[in-house]
Structure 1
Amino acid sequence: MLQTMQCTMRLLLVGFLVAASWLLSAQTLDYQSHQLTDEGLLIQTSEGQLTLRFHQPAVVEVFYQNEGVKQLPSFTLPPQPQLLAAGLETQGEVLYYGTDALTVRVATKPLRLSFLRDGEVFLAEEQGLFVHETLRGFRFQLKPDEKLLGAGQRVLGMDRRGHRLPLYNKAHYGYTTESEQMYFSIPGVISSHNYLLLFDNSASGFIDLGKTEADVLQFEAVAGRTGYIVAAGDSHQDTLQQYLQASGMPPLPPRWALGNYASRFGYRTEQEARDTVQRFVDKGFPLDAIVLDLFWFGPDIQGHMGNLAWDKDAFPNPEQMIADFRELGVKTVLITEPFMLTSSNRWQEAVREDVLALNLAGKPRTFDFYFGNTGLIDVFKPEAAEWFWQIYHGLMQQGVAGWWGDLGEPEVHPHDAIHRLPQGTATADEIHNAYGHEWAKLVFERHVRDYPTLRPFIMMRSGAPGSQRYGMIPWTGDVDRSWDGLKPQVELALQMSLFGFGYIHSDLGGFAGGETFDAEMYTRWMQFGVFQPVYRPHAQEHIAPEPVFHDGTTQRISRDFINLRYRLTPYNYTLAYQHSTRGLPLMRPLFWLEPDNPDYLAEKNSYLWGDAFLVAPVTKPGVASWTVNAPAGVWFDFFAGTAYQGGQKLEVPVTLETIPVLVKAGSFVPMIAPLQSLDHYSTEQLELHYWHHASVGQSEGELYDDDGHSRTSLADGAFELLQFQAHNQQDQQLNVSLIRQGDFPGMPAARQLMLVVHQAPAHWQQVQLGEQRFNVQPEALAEGETGAWRNQDGAIVVQFSWQQDTQLQLR
């Protein structure tokens, strides 16, 4: 802890010096010549080379390579990125290099870059690059009305302009409603003017968002790469998609990752783990995974980190345990950490194999922190990465299904630790923010190599831009177990999602502290969790995080919502598909619908869950209604069916059994019956819900389906995409088209479909299904019977076997 505080103090001092005297560290670069090559536009300057490269039509990389300035590789971009050809035009002393979507204007006297979209400058260097001894970075102009999101995990409000923030991944134990520094910093911003700007640098530093100078955005670092990336598409969605196409799309997770987890700090014995899983089964709770914290390799919190082998006294038959869990549809996930204690069973092996970060004398760098005296695995060294992977590989041979990487900031990282990259050595301060990224990379790439058909599951606390392409599933860290811990979770998730980390989630119920069980707070968090990417209650063990250990009311409400989570799996899995193919996060900000609405840009409680749902978690006790910031359009209460006119803030009634969940008129939501485990998932029995309203003329939806585990499903085309279209003819008739495209092994040849048209007008009494025509019956039909009936909520339900493209008319 002391070393972490010392590192922070050094960063604060460095930041003060830069903020106070940047003019002394600025350099004026003189243009000398340029050359257009297959590698981009190469500009020779008085200090070295400037390279401009397009990775997508609206994504450009800017890389200054001043002579004598040490550079590190880009972690944001893939090692061998695909480049895009761009055109060059010279107008006097100005170069224009770009595509139809984005142009870089290169002024040569003095050398300055600005960026244009549709002929208008949206971003411009102010001083541009500065390099002075151990300080380097960039300065950009800010416009007076510009708002800035980004910088990663912070609790500051959505607009971060006016803050000066450390770029140093650091744990914040027990945070609540304020935090300037947390587990996962991102050296980048998203502007209200629709561009993404990312400092491509892994070193310790700062981002100054108009704090020191109101009209200047400044990135700075103590070392590292002097490059940045600009993305600017036609919309915020397009900007994110193009950035992710350049940096790397997140791969599909295994489908079971969307299920319910049993998780705590921690299960101390095999019998305790078995009893917990059985309790879920006995109480009728779905369950897809159990997460084992550090007691799987040692009986105590301190002294055993680095063993990374089963403690056979506590877990005498781990392979049988894992196999038995598998029979129940429950996958086993193990925690691992990058620290190797000198007291661990593997210490001598780690020293002998030379897999640890070194001190300045070339020996393993050891230091003290909470868990004991330790070294740190040098994940940047290829041989060390391979050694570390062999431990994972051996455990996977025993049946382990997924990995939880903890403390990967790293939580303690001495500044004088030396790491060995293929390109040469680097100090901790040079690559600190890329440590978790490189850790995820080694697990992902070797998993793909050794288990090429199986999707990895890699949950980690810290990373860097680009980590999403290695399947990283991050969470928001050790949040306080309180209402104040619950309040910032939407903000944290949205900020991370906007940089491609769509599986960001929280420890449901809160992790840290708490002396007594607050049933209402816990229930509200569990309800919110249904509309988070990962459903994982997790906490310190003195209050059980699992719902099965609580009172009857808490169990009943939690069970109902977890069952809803499972019912929504077709919809949620389709969101995962959209995230992997289009970059669309699962949790989406309101300003995506109305980008010019400043109220929506600042919104940190109401959010979109995909296209269909508007969700606002309840974060205060004892309320009878809750405010929802609803975009324009008609919205229906998912639970009560009440219709609301959007474009305003709504007061939605709630009980302990409900939170505000609204469905947008015209939405299609596919659902299934609840399951004990997603091992039994199938869309053969499918509900397709449609929310009708006269104001919606046309709408569409989709469902993605595959086998749930094959890593190359998307690349191989081994999936089916079901498409739904609705056309409302002035409320006299609703035409619905159901389209099937693609196939995969095990795909249902036919689906027993139940189309539920909510808010169907009372005068609709007939359904045309292909050549069949039948009247709407007043009572439910028998299962498997073809026909239509009106349920107690007034919805028309059409039942039939769906085998091929189908047209329906309701009138």
Structure 2
Amino acid sequence: MKEKANTKPTALVKKLGLGLFLAAALQPAIASEVREYRQHHMQDGALVIDTSDSQVTLTPLNSAALEVHYQRDGMKQLPSFAIAPKNSTKTAQLKADVQAQLSVSEDALRLALGDLTAVIHKSPFAIEFERNGEPLLAEEHGFFANQTMRGFRFALQENEKLIGGGQRVLGMDRRGQRLPLYNKAHYGYTTESEQMYFGLPAVMSSNKYILLFDNSATGTMDLGASEQDVMQFEAVAGRSSYIVVAGNTYPQLIENYVDVTGRQPMPPRWAFGNFASRFGYHSEQEVRDVVEKFREEDFPLDALVLDLYWFGPDIQGHMGNLAWDNKAFPTPVDMMSDLNQQGINTILVTEPFVLSTAERWDSAVAANALAKNLAGQPKKFEFYFGNTGLIDVFSEDGRDWFWNIYKDLKEQGVAGWWGDLGEPEVHPSDTVHAVGMADEIHNAYGHRWAQMLFDNERAASPEERPFIMMRAGFPGSQRFGMIPWTGDVSREWGGLKPQVELSLQMGLLGFGYTHSDLGGFAGGEKFDRELYIRWLQYGVFQPVYRPHAQEHIAPEPVFHDLKTRNITREFVKLRYRLLPYNYTLAFENSQTGMPLMRPLFFDNENDLALMDNKDAYLWGNDFLVAPVTDEGAREVAVQLPGGVWFDYWNDNQYGGDMARVKVDLKTIPVLVRAGAFIPTVPDMRNTREYSSRNLRLDYYAHESAAQSSGYVYEDDGVTADAFAKGQYQKLMFAGERNDEATRFTFTREGDGYTGAPEGRSIELVLHNWQQVPTAINAGEQPLTIVSSEKQLSNNAAWFDKRAKTLHVKFAWDGSELPLTVSH
């Protein structure tokens, strides 16, 4: 421990003014006395400080993340839900990686982790944070608590923008908003919503930090609404801690954040296929007929979702039965087996409510599975679906009872789970759970439910990836494979408009698979062909492709008119052709936390105006997508983050700050970055047929992109942790241009996987190509330049003069291969 430190005011203190900084720390309205430092010690790598009113523990989580936990005698604390548990090996590695250095002076302590430093002022006690020696964030008053509320106050800088709070429809910058923190259904929302299914008590700042309040209780996050320069978190109870994460770039910030809260494991490959889903399929025969309709209409299909009619003939009166209605589904095991043989996976909806009239009520009571009332008896309350109780997923008895139901269904052939109403939608405040009252843990209910499913799935089938779709959760729920959706959106143009904003906001804080019910869910008096097509077109470039709606207007494209079917079929098939690209995005997400949908400001971090764009986004690194959300639109103004972009449909070029893209009903603005490689594969009936044996690479040549690279990640699509086990292949390609030639290099890494092609036929398509090349060589072998597309075969090339594309086809055995196209 160092005994000397710089005692001069830090940069942020100077910026705010020492008087303002100290005056803020007093805040007589919040605390009756000034918090003062008493003493400190190090314990298990954490800095523990005793103050005049609390004990403060600063725990390094990595070199850029720190938890600050205030505790007072007599104040109940809950365990962290947000922080991913570290196994013993990981913990040892963390201690080795994070060499926290403590410096002590008369006035302050400095805890330096590497990228992040906490400066703890002794009198009055206050903590501020620096990144690489520059001011980042400071407590304004810091921790406060009284009999009814606890929380924190932080100073906001003048031009700071704040993204966060989870699902809300408020615009990208949430500064100036006061956000309820209570997961709550918002049925039929459109262009405004301050409170929805999946809130997150966290923000990402334009100053490149994430601040997470690790508290699951009912509360509020005030982002400069009540006081312009103060961010305040309030909760009625819960854990009194916060986590600060820093990063030099936004992608690095996200990676540091998911290192703390947990990385999302890769879902099974079939999760990227097309889903048949509605509210809902009433019988086994209907299921079989729907699947047959998809086959007849030549629509690929990977999953079928059964809503609540699988366990009862009516909407009301059956919740909690969670057993097949044998009148409507006489042979469910055979049905699911038949679907599986066709490559179609069955997903069942489940809810955490058990009606007192349900067949399982007595079993749930006997198993001590239900949350209690204040008298210690199973809590009953009225709900739209009937008089009900709520499974206590915070109790071991509740989890065991619930899992036994899932286990039986899994053995019957169910491939994935859909957890609905998990806010919970109705959750009386006087409900008693194993770890506390409803209002203490409400926002972590879906989180704990998902954890129960994930942990048991991995224990039962350790080699397989689970599929878990949930409507609500908490920071860190992504580590349980949670796939959220944006709830019961209205089936109108106003429902489509906020979907980009909702997915971006969630993806930046760990939930990269947030998606919408394609076509809209709620209401709608009649079928709106244009709206429906636009929504399904957008769906190609969102994480999960799942049309879903109330059944009075069919959500499945196969039941609509010929024009609708023809347009949507091509987009569904495009979704499948793009599997190598999309699956690689899933791999990147599993490794770094990078969302599949990314905001435009990732491409130009210094342009704060880009942070406000909620209408366009990056799909991975190389696509820029702007859904059409206005009826009758024939041109869309698309903000660009810089660089040169190509229209995916016709190769038109755009640059500058804005592109005006012409559209018809068959297209939406989809742009490709200059220098990008876009991999695609041939059509398939479902993802079980996926193979890159014939791989097409579209390369977008431009003088502004002299060097570029890309890769495709592949595994068997099923095995859990395939990459960590070495059961994968990475197909890597790079391009380099000069005046004489464009040179490509193809390499491969990884030990391979079951079903990997022994060799591949590559068709490299060079866009924006102006003339027939003088020569093409794959390694030492010259390629033949043919005069027509019909003559194109391996080791040949064809120049399409009209489209200005050069098609180069060659066999690749996976060994390093240089390919040169001489100009």
TM score, norm. by length of structure 1 = 0.95
SS in structure 1 at match of 2:58: strand
Whether the 8 Å CA contact 2:351–2:419 is kept in 1: the answer is: yes
For 1:354, the equivalent position in structure 2 comes to: 368
For 2:73, the equivalent position in structure 1 comes to: 67
For 2:64, the equivalent position in structure 1 comes to: 58
Q: 1:613-692 counterparts in 2 under 5 A? A: 613-645=623-655, 647-692=656-701
Q: Which runs of 5+ in 1 are unaligned?
A: 1-20
Q: 1:470-509 counterparts in 2 under 5 A? A: 470-509=480-519
1:40 Cα deviation (Å)? 1.0
For 1:293, the equivalent position in structure 2 comes to: 307
1:650 Cα deviation (Å)? 1.3
Quick check: 800-809 or 531-540, which moved more? 800-809
Q: Which runs of 5+ in 2 are unaligned?
A: 1-26
Show CA shifts across 1:448-473 (max 9, x none): 00110110000000000000000000
Q: Which amino acid aligns with 1:416?
A: D
1:702 matched to 2:708? The reply is no
For 1:810, the equivalent position in structure 2 comes to: 821
> In 2, distance between residues paired with 1:369 and 1:334?
22
1:546 Cα deviation (Å)? 0.1
> In 1, distance between residues paired with 2:673 and 2:785?
25
| Counterparts in 2 of 1:605 and 1:648: CA distance versus 1, 3 Å | same
Quick check: 82-91 or 307-316, which moved more? 82-91
Q: Which amino acid aligns with 1:694?
A: E
Whether the 8 Å CA contact 1:26–1:127 is kept in 2: the answer is: no
For 1:4, the equivalent position in structure 2 comes to: none
> In 1, distance between residues paired with 2:303 and 2:774?
46
Show CA shifts across 1:285-314 (max 9, x none): 000000000000000000000000000000
For 2:169, the equivalent position in structure 1 comes to: 155
For 1:716, the equivalent position in structure 2 comes to: 725
1:438 pairs, out of 448, 453, 457, with 448
Q: Which amino acid aligns with 2:592?
A: R
> In 1, distance between residues paired with 2:28 and 2:667?
53
Quick check: 776-785 or 513-522, which moved more? 776-785
1:777 Cα deviation (Å)? 2.2
1:757 matched to 2:788? The reply is no
1:232 pairs, out of 234, 246, 252, with 246
1:179 pairs, out of 189, 193, 210, with 193
For 2:82, the equivalent position in structure 1 comes to: 76
1:536 Cα deviation (Å)? 0.2
Whether the 8 Å CA contact 2:783–2:795 is kept in 1: the answer is: no
Show CA shifts across 1:651-673 (max 9, x none): 10000000000000000111101
Whether the 8 Å CA contact 2:715–2:722 is kept in 1: the answer is: yes
2:126 pairs, out of 112, 128, 131, with 112
Q: Which amino acid aligns with 2:731?
A: L
SS in structure 2 at match of 1:139: strand
> In 2, distance between residues paired with 1:678 and 1:28?
62
Whether the 8 Å CA contact 1:54–1:86 is kept in 2: the answer is: yes
Q: 1:158-237 counterparts in 2 under 5 A? A: 158-237=172-251
Q: Which amino acid aligns with 2:741?
A: Q
> In 2, distance between residues paired with 1:688 and 1:148?
38
> In 2, distance between residues paired with 1:589 and 1:640?
24
1:400 matched to 2:414? The reply is yes
> In 1, distance between residues paired with 2:735 and 2:549?
45
Whether the 8 Å CA contact 1:354–1:384 is kept in 2: the answer is: yes
For 2:16, the equivalent position in structure 1 comes to: none
1:761 Cα deviation (Å)? 2.8
> In 2, distance between residues paired with 1:332 and 1:560?
24
1:536 matched to 2:542? The reply is no
Quick check: 73-82 or 540-549, which moved more? 73-82
> In 2, distance between residues paired with 1:436 and 1:690?
43
Q: 1:462-477 counterparts in 2 under 5 A? A: 462-477=472-487
SS in structure 1 at match of 2:348: strand
Whether the 8 Å CA contact 1:625–1:654 is kept in 2: the answer is: yes
SS in structure 2 at match of 1:273: helix
Whether the 8 Å CA contact 1:159–1:601 is kept in 2: the answer is: yes
Q: Which amino acid aligns with 1:257?
A: A
Whether the 8 Å CA contact 2:771–2:799 is kept in 1: the answer is: no
May I ask how many residue pairs the two structures share in their alignment? 785
1:45 matched to 2:51? The reply is yes
For 1:736, the equivalent position in structure 2 comes to: 744
Runs of 4+ off more than 6 Å: none
For 1:17, the equivalent position in structure 2 comes to: none
2:346 pairs, out of 309, 332, 343, with 332
Q: Which amino acid aligns with 2:213?
A: F
Show CA shifts across 1:86-105 (max 9, x none): 11112332111022211001
| Counterparts in 2 of 1:777 and 1:582: CA distance versus 1, 3 Å | same
SS in structure 2 at match of 1:314: coil
> In 2, distance between residues paired with 1:160 and 1:24?
25
> In 2, distance between residues paired with 1:617 and 1:29?
52
Whether the 8 Å CA contact 1:59–1:231 is kept in 2: the answer is: yes
> In 2, distance between residues paired with 1:796 and 1:43?
67
1:688 Cα deviation (Å)? 1.2
> In 2, distance between residues paired with 1:141 and 1:600?
24
For 2:378, the equivalent position in structure 1 comes to: 364
> In 1, distance between residues paired with 2:256 and 2:136?
17
Whether the 8 Å CA contact 1:54–1:85 is kept in 2: the answer is: no
1:566 matched to 2:572? The reply is no
> In 2, distance between residues paired with 1:782 and 1:201?
65
For 1:380, the equivalent position in structure 2 comes to: 394
Quick check: 195-204 or 786-795, which moved more? 786-795
SS in structure 2 at match of 1:54: strand
For 1:3, the equivalent position in structure 2 comes to: none
> In 1, distance between residues paired with 2:790 and 2:404?
57
1:36 matched to 2:65? The reply is no
Whether the 8 Å CA contact 1:334–1:404 is kept in 2: the answer is: yes
For 2:619, the equivalent position in structure 1 comes to: 609
Show CA shifts across 1:19-54 (max 9, x none): xx9814566322111112324111122233211111
| Counterparts in 2 of 1:209 and 1:745: CA distance versus 1, 3 Å | same
Q: Indicate the RMSD between aligned Cα atoms, in angstroms.
A: 1.2
| Counterparts in 2 of 1:632 and 1:26: CA distance versus 1, 3 Å | farther
> In 2, distance between residues paired with 1:326 and 1:52?
51
Q: Which amino acid aligns with 1:734?
A: T
Whether the 8 Å CA contact 2:277–2:555 is kept in 1: the answer is: yes
2:259 pairs, out of 245, 256, 259, with 245
Q: Which amino acid aligns with 1:654?
A: V
SS in structure 2 at match of 1:636: strand
Whether the 8 Å CA contact 1:436–1:464 is kept in 2: the answer is: yes
For 1:553, the equivalent position in structure 2 comes to: 563
Identity %: 53
Q: Which amino acid aligns with 1:735?
A: R
> In 2, distance between residues paired with 1:691 and 1:26?
65
Q: Which amino acid aligns with 2:760?
A: R
Whether the 8 Å CA contact 1:75–1:434 is kept in 2: the answer is: yes
Q: Which amino acid aligns with 2:626?
A: A
1:275 matched to 2:284? The reply is no
1:759 Cα deviation (Å)? 1.2
Q: Which amino acid aligns with 1:695?
A: S
TM score, norm. by length of structure 2 = 0.94
Q: Which amino acid aligns with 1:637?
A: D
> In 2, distance between residues paired with 1:68 and 1:782?
82
| Counterparts in 2 of 1:49 and 1:723: CA distance versus 1, 3 Å | same
1:85 Cα deviation (Å)? 3.7
For 2:595, the equivalent position in structure 1 comes to: 585
Q: Which amino acid aligns with 2:742?
A: L
